[in-house]
Structure 1
Amino acid sequence: MKNTFSLFVRLLFTLTVSLYVSRVVLKALGVDDFGIYAVVGSVVTMLGFMTSALSTATQRFISYELGAKSTNGLVKTFSMAVNIHFILAVIILFGSEIIGLWLINSKLNIPADRLDSALIVFHLSLLTVFVNLVITPYNAAIISHERMGVIAWLSIVESLFKLGGALYLAASSDYDNLILYAVMITCIAVLIKLLNILYCHYFLKSIHFKLLWEQSLFRSILIFSSWSLWGGLAYVLMVHGVNVLLNIFFGPAVNAARSIANQVQGAILQFSTSFQMAMNPQIIKNFASSDFEQMKKIVIYGAKYSYFLLLIFIIPIIVETETILKLWLGDYPEYTIIFVQLTLAVVLIESLSNTLMVAMQATGKIALYQTVVGGLLILNLPISYYFLNSGSPPYITIIISFFISCLALVIRLFLLKKAILLDINEYFHKVIIRVSLVTILSIWVPIFIHFNYDEGIIRFLLVAFSSTLIVIIIYFAGLEKIEKNFLLEKIKMYIYKYKGNT
């Protein structure tokens, strides 16, 4: 809870800044340049998909060594992770330059007069991916040590730099704003990653790089990472590959709409990510110390609480999307409203899978899991192509993602039943039934307000205030008796403590 609070404080600050920055950048760049930046970013993310997968693998191995309390193993693991990341970063850099240039020059729908700028953005974005990949072990070490306060402060510093960059971008008229924005984002990313290194060097004495090579450890990390890479590639193609398809079929304006939806998604996900980031090392450490019952409790209750945390914010946003977009951006591209609403529905479903994914990674036995789930996720791309080529609207891609996410959740449950003896019936009754009941009960009041009041700030505030009722519904319909008793005891303890201090 302490780590979650640190990350939550970070969230309140970074979310406010990022929403304002998005408004400024959209106006400074315009819809087309904003869409070009989004689709080029998607190309780079696809080509640099290894970053996320390798970060997950590194966190798993470092957290495992911390749970096993092996100092020597920790140093070896960290050093080998740095070696592997550097080698793969170089390979990605050269391979991506070749493939990316071909995609941008031959396949993407980019106006001819903006092609040179798009290529510069591509090279700068690729440099950012290279730096992120090389420095990933340092960030993974901070998370594995559960130093979430550091993560919070680094995020706040990054947000301040982005705010300053956006204000400068809005005032600038002497440069190509698309290129200027890409330069600023790259410089900020490099600076933040260097701060990660400095923190690990001075404050995590057990984390330091030694020039060594251990073949068995290299093989273990590489095998685990290879399967994670397949899962990472599948997810990247599911999200960013579809963004490239949207560009090919509809052009940069639709990419801009999808990018805005992704920014809303990213802002909302920070609420649950803060909570999940504090849980993930605990899941892995409990597995390493063979405390499987505690591990399964975190998996089940963590999924439920993550969903509830998101639901409080998502229901008012889905109901009042149009009003929020007008207040936030003023003018916005076509399809933005439906993109935002459907994307947030996908976020709710995927929130139930996050602890399941971490639990599977903790076991280290992920070959079958990544093959099956990754294969399912990657189907999003060909299915989306089929529907888009048949004349379907662009938002069909998110509807497809929703159904694939639902099916992936079911498959993850059955695979974890075999891997850690997870009780599917227990998960169904404690998570699925509870979250479904709370969702059904929570949606009626905001919908009633939406259709019985005129559009405007008053209706928006009433719908937003109705989210407090969701908290009450969560308490009565979403929590078990033991959870209610625990919560009441904590509240009483703090009241008595406060009275004692006063």
Structure 2
Amino acid sequence: MYVSRIVLKALGVDDFGIYSVVGSIVTMLSFMTSALSTTTQRFISYELGNKTTKGLVKLFSMAVNVHIILAVLILFVSEIIGVWVINTKLNIPVDRLDAALIVFHLSLFTVFVNIVITPYNAAIISYERMGVVAWLSIIESLFKLSGAFYLAYNSDIDNLILYASTLALISVFIKLLNIVYCHCFLKDIYFKLIWEHSLFRSLLIFSGWSLWGGLAYVLMVHGVNILINIFFGPVVNAARAIANQVQGAVLQFSSSFQMAMNPQIVKNFAISDFTQMKQIVIYGAKYTYFLLLMLIVPVIIETELILKLWLGEFPEYTIIFVRLMLLVVLIESLSNTLMVAMQATGRIALYQTVVGGILILNLPLSYFFLSSGYPPYITIIIGFALSCFTLVIRLLFLRNIISLDIKDFFYKVIVKIFLVTAISILGPTFIHHNVDDDFIRLFSVFSSSTVMILIMIYFVGLEKLEQKFLYDKIKMIQHKFKRDN
């Protein structure tokens, strides 16, 4: 978050917006990365769930082969399409066009490396080495902070080009660390020159349907960013980019928890333990929401003050962008375990067709409303509505495939999170409207919302068995602390 403040000040609003929209092109054209990562994680976790590691080397090597082939393909297609879009479609000042093209090429190189090395990261997650993922994330953040400070004091090189170059180098270095870790600590994960047509076909078919879902999501998020650039220019792109930074920081708060659940869902499906699988899906959705709620409530209430303290000055629409995007994060958190469960079943053709078809509607709907004179934040409202709809669709699919009880999900998750949210926001909202001093109000809102949410989670959000489990854990920790002292 602090890095963004330094970068925004060093680049200026226009260049920050240019980087955001050019990066969106690369992300939109490289939607394959997340889809392929999901595919690799699913297959590796399935093998580990069956307690069979004999085929892991072959599986992993074939996954790398698939990634290399698709990385070359995406590099070729992206160079042609991306340059054309930047030169003819985007609203970029003429004197910054050359810099924008250099940023595009650097970003595309980063994407190429990321795709090739994706199987290594997927393997680390499948083996549930979340500590490694966390440490790599910390190292990456420290490098980015150092790069931002260097950017702030640079006067010799174009700051936009320097920023893109720095991020490219950091990203490639972190990805290489993934390879080093796998070769040193995961004995069944290494690349071997091998080719098996049947396995290649299985990986390609599964990832092909995942790619459609990934493309739909990317168009929903980053395609809209390009529409905003066309209708409003790079300054509004900068506002959306700042909101994306806030959204990303909030998502990091729950990412480790989410990643820890994903392999367990797949492994339980692999051994046909559907009861345990459904428990993880239902309770995982609820706990992920509660984790995010603790951070999102005070940020939504005090968005303006937080942005002033963080950035000083910020573009128009930033406040509404941040608030709406955080609401989208909350609703999408309920779908995370459902998506992993669908991937685990392997029956994703119809699912991805339907869900992807719904998500991709965001682009034409956004174009219609923007061309009709609506403000830019209408795109996020549309995205929120579509996310609610796809949540229902995912529940219906899982009811048919693994007999997930929708009524059970409704009462154990939806009703409880609604009550916890509705009651928890009352105290912090009252403080926001009745305390004048900025710092006292900010501290009071954060502390009161945390206390209120924790109390409401315990007494309203948890069932009796969950309350007992939590109570026993707290007593055990207290006993251990007293014994050690």
TM-score bracket, shorter-length normalisation: over 0.9
The 8 Å contact of residues 303 and 353 in structure 1, kept in 2 or not, is answered as yes
1:405 maps to what in 2? 387
The 8 Å contact of residues 39 and 243 in structure 1, kept in 2 or not, is answered as yes
* Structure 1 position 455, deviation (Å): 5.5
2:273 maps to what in 1? 291
CA distance in 2, matches of 1:493, 1:163: 39
* Structure 1 position 215, deviation (Å): 1.1
2:473 to 474, 490, 495: 490
- Answer yes or no: is 1:229 the counterpart of 2:211: yes
CA distance in 1, matches of 2:290, 2:51: 34
* Structure 1 position 500, deviation (Å): 2.4
Tell me which amino acid in the other structure corresponds to 2:250.
I
Tell me which amino acid in the other structure corresponds to 2:458.
Y
Tell me which amino acid in the other structure corresponds to 2:173.
L
1:124 maps to what in 2? 106
1:162 to 136, 144, 147: 144
Residue-by-residue CA offset, 1:351-387 (whole Å, 9 max, x unaligned): 0000000000001110111001010000000000000
Matches within 5 A, 1:441-456: 441-454=423-436, 456=438
CA distance in 2, matches of 1:272, 1:154: 16
2:456 maps to what in 1? 473
- Answer yes or no: is 1:274 the counterpart of 2:236: no
The 8 Å contact of residues 308 and 435 in structure 1, kept in 2 or not, is answered as yes
Residue-by-residue CA offset, 1:236-263 (whole Å, 9 max, x unaligned): 0000000000000000000000000011
2:54 maps to what in 1? 72
SS of residue paired to 2:207 = helix
CA distance in 1, matches of 2:139, 2:29: 28
* Structure 1 position 493, deviation (Å): 1.4
The 8 Å contact of residues 55 and 137 in structure 1, kept in 2 or not, is answered as yes
Moved more, 224-233 or 466-475: 466-475
1:426 maps to what in 2? 408
- Answer yes or no: is 1:43 the counterpart of 2:3: no
CA distance in 1, matches of 2:460, 2:86: 51
Tell me which amino acid in the other structure corresponds to 2:451.
T
1:247 maps to what in 2? 229
CA distance in 1, matches of 2:389, 2:53: 41
How many percent of aligned residue pairs carry the same amino acid? Answer: 74
Residue-by-residue CA offset, 1:215-236 (whole Å, 9 max, x unaligned): 1111111111000000000000
The 8 Å contact of residues 458 and 467 in structure 2, kept in 1 or not, is answered as yes
* Structure 1 position 501, deviation (Å): 2.5
SS of residue paired to 1:85 = helix
1:14 maps to what in 2? none
CA distance in 1, matches of 2:93, 2:287: 46
| TM-score of the superposed pair, with normalisation by structure 2 | 0.99
1:179 to 153, 161, 181: 161
SS of residue paired to 2:425 = helix
2:118 maps to what in 1? 136
* Structure 1 position 278, deviation (Å): 0.7
- Answer yes or no: is 1:316 the counterpart of 2:319: no
1:207 to 175, 189, 205: 189
CA distance in 1, matches of 2:177, 2:472: 41
1:101 maps to what in 2? 83
1:499 maps to what in 2? 482
Residue-by-residue CA offset, 1:16-59 (whole Å, 9 max, x unaligned): xxx11111000000000000000000000001110011011110
Tell me which amino acid in the other structure corresponds to 2:311.
L
1:33 maps to what in 2? 15
CA distance in 1, matches of 2:278, 2:355: 21
The 8 Å contact of residues 102 and 161 in structure 2, kept in 1 or not, is answered as yes
Q: Which runs of 5+ in 2 are unaligned?
A: none
CA distance in 1, matches of 2:302, 2:479: 40
SS of residue paired to 1:72 = coil
Matches within 5 A, 1:267-416: 267-416=249-398
CA distance in 2, matches of 1:398, 1:57: 28
Tell me which amino acid in the other structure corresponds to 1:475.
Y
CA distance in 1, matches of 2:197, 2:398: 30
Moved more, 489-498 or 358-367: 489-498
* Structure 1 position 333, deviation (Å): 0.5
* Structure 1 position 497, deviation (Å): 2.0
SS of residue paired to 2:91 = coil
The 8 Å contact of residues 65 and 74 in structure 1, kept in 2 or not, is answered as yes
CA distance in 1, matches of 2:51, 2:369: 52
SS of residue paired to 2:55 = helix
The 8 Å contact of residues 134 and 256 in structure 2, kept in 1 or not, is answered as no
SS of residue paired to 1:210 = coil
CA distance in 2, matches of 1:237, 1:123: 21
Tell me which amino acid in the other structure corresponds to 1:311.
L
Tell me which amino acid in the other structure corresponds to 1:500.
R
CA distance in 2, matches of 1:455, 1:429: 40
Residue-by-residue CA offset, 1:171-194 (whole Å, 9 max, x unaligned): 001110000000000001111111
The 8 Å contact of residues 272 and 309 in structure 1, kept in 2 or not, is answered as yes
Residue-by-residue CA offset, 1:311-346 (whole Å, 9 max, x unaligned): 111010000000000000000000000000000011
CA distance in 1, matches of 2:380, 2:4: 22
SS of residue paired to 1:454 = coil
CA distance in 2, matches of 1:392, 1:430: 38
Residue-by-residue CA offset, 1:111-161 (whole Å, 9 max, x unaligned): 000000000000000000000000000000001001111111111111111
CA RMSD of the aligned region, Å? 0.7
The 8 Å contact of residues 235 and 374 in structure 1, kept in 2 or not, is answered as yes
Tell me which amino acid in the other structure corresponds to 2:455.
I
The 8 Å contact of residues 230 and 371 in structure 1, kept in 2 or not, is answered as yes
The 8 Å contact of residues 323 and 455 in structure 1, kept in 2 or not, is answered as no
Q: Which runs of 5+ in 1 are unaligned?
A: 1-18
Residue-by-residue CA offset, 1:53-72 (whole Å, 9 max, x unaligned): 10111100011111112222
Tell me which amino acid in the other structure corresponds to 2:35.
A
CA distance in 1, matches of 2:253, 2:140: 18
Question: Following superposition, which runs of at least 4 residues in structure 1 exceed 6 angstroms of deviation?
Answer: none
